[in-house]
């Protein structure tokens, strides 16, 4: 497994450091602390409105409440999300770290309304996303959330600018203005010189930067990223992560990033995990670096 680490909860948990990390690579573990097991589960209480201490917390932008998601495979039901709750507060950048197959993509798809939960709900600005109303869902997907896939999903025969313009064209923008906005976004991700190159001709890192521009071109408030650096070498992974973090801050996004990379996760404001279909809080721990074992999904 090389420098890969097994996730805590499946391995060792170290004591939390008293101070914040400083450039040192970090190891992440499940928070099994003095508050006991109930403190581990994410989103179970509602601290947004109840206590004076929590009154200062930024507003919750996107929330999953007791989401359950099972897949039917033949006669069997595969429970993936059992009771998944989380809150993303305005402006925070949250990582979710869990082994392959734990349900990260499933959770992100449900949060983006790309898939429907078996039970439970997703709330945007405290309003339930009505999964049975096509126009509301299309609007939510188009305007509220930008989705970044691990394997960029670009159309290889279209230019970088055309790929970035696509979500605007799907929203009914005219071609010239969509392309103009796309070029502006390509400049933001440092690819103005590649706007007219076909996506298939770009390097992996460049393709992922085009995908970032495409995820943000509609001006969403939330960015959901599913292993955005999983297909990249270490240098490109850090560069792409730096870019995501810079854009997150510049555009005041609220972001949730699924990753195997513990060092990258430790650069986020909070780190969550997924254990047996439940979202848990993880803590950053100093002393080691690496990625979670298993295939990136």
Site stretch for ligand ADP (CB under 6 A), options 70-78, 82-90, 131-139, 247-255: 70-78
Among 9, 43, 103, 146, binds ligand ADP (CB under 6 A): 103
Query: Contacts for 10-14 with beta carbons within 8 Å, 24 or more apart?
Result: 10/99, 13/285, 14/285, 14/287
Axis crossing angle, helix 175-188 with helix 160-170, rounded to the nearest 10: 120
Among 22, 49, 73, 235, binds ligand ADP (CB under 6 A): 73
| Contact map string, positions 105 to 124, toward ligand ADP, x by CB under 6 A | xx------------------
Distance CA 289, CA 63 (A): 30
Select from 16, 50, 58, 71 the one that contacts ligand ADP (CB under 6 A). 71
Residue 70 Cβ, how far from ligand ADP at the closest point, in Å? 9
Taking the complex as a whole, the smallest distance from the CB of residue 186 to ligand ADP amounts, in Å, to: 29
C-beta closer to ligand ADP: residue 33 or 66: 66
Contact flag: residue 232 with ligand ADP (CB under 6 A):
no
Interacting residue with ligand ADP among 64, 102, 112, 280 (CB under 6 A): 102
Q: Which stretch binds ligand ADP (CB under 6 A): 72-80, 156-164, 173-181, 197-205?
A: 72-80
Range in contact with ligand ADP (rule: CB under 6 A) among 26-34, 94-102, 259-267, 275-283: 94-102
Taking the least distance from each CB to ligand ADP, the nearer of 100 and 289 is: 100
Q: How far is CA 216 from CA 5, 86, 223, 253, in A?
A: 32, 23, 8, 10
Residues that bind ligand ADP (CB under 6 A): 71, 73, 78, 80, 98, 100-106, 297
């Amino acid at each position: 497994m090389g420098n890969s680490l097994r996730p805590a909860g499946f391995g060792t948990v170290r004591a939390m450091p008293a101070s914040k990390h400083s450039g040192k690579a970090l190891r992440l573990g499940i928070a099994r602390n003095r508050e006991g097991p109930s403190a581990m589960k994410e989103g179970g209480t509602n601290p947004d409105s109840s206590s004076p201490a929590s009154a200062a917390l930024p507003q919750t932008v996107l929330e999953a409440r007791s989401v359950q998601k099972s897949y039917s495979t033949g006669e069997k039901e595969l429970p993936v999300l059992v009771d998944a709750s989380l809150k993303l507060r305005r402006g925070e950048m949250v990582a979710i770290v869990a082994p392959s197959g734990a349900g990260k993509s499933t959770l992100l798809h449900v949060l983006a309304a790309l898939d429907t939960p078996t039970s439970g709900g997703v709330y945007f600005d405290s309003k339930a996303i009505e999964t049975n109303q096509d126009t509301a869902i299309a609007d939510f997907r188009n305007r509220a959330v930008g989705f970044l896939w691990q394997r960029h999903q670009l159309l290889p025969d279209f230019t970088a600018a055309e790929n970035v313009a696509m979500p605007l064209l799907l929203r009914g923008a005219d071609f010239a203005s969509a392309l103009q906005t796309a070029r502006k976004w390509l400049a933001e991700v440092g690819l103005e010189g590649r706007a007219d190159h076909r996506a298939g001709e770009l390097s992996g890192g460049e393709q992922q930067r085009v995908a970032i521009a495409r995820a943000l071109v509609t001006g969403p408030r939330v960015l959901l990223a599913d292993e955005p650096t999983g297909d990249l070498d270490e240098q490109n992974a850090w560069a792409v992560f730096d870019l995501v973090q810079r854009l997150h801050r510049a555009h005041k996004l609220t972001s949730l990033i699924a990753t195997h990379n513990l060092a990258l996760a430790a650069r986020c404001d909070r780190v969550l995990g997924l254990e047996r279909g439940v979202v848990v809080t993880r803590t950053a721990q100093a002393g080691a670096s690496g990625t979670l074992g298993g295939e990136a999904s």
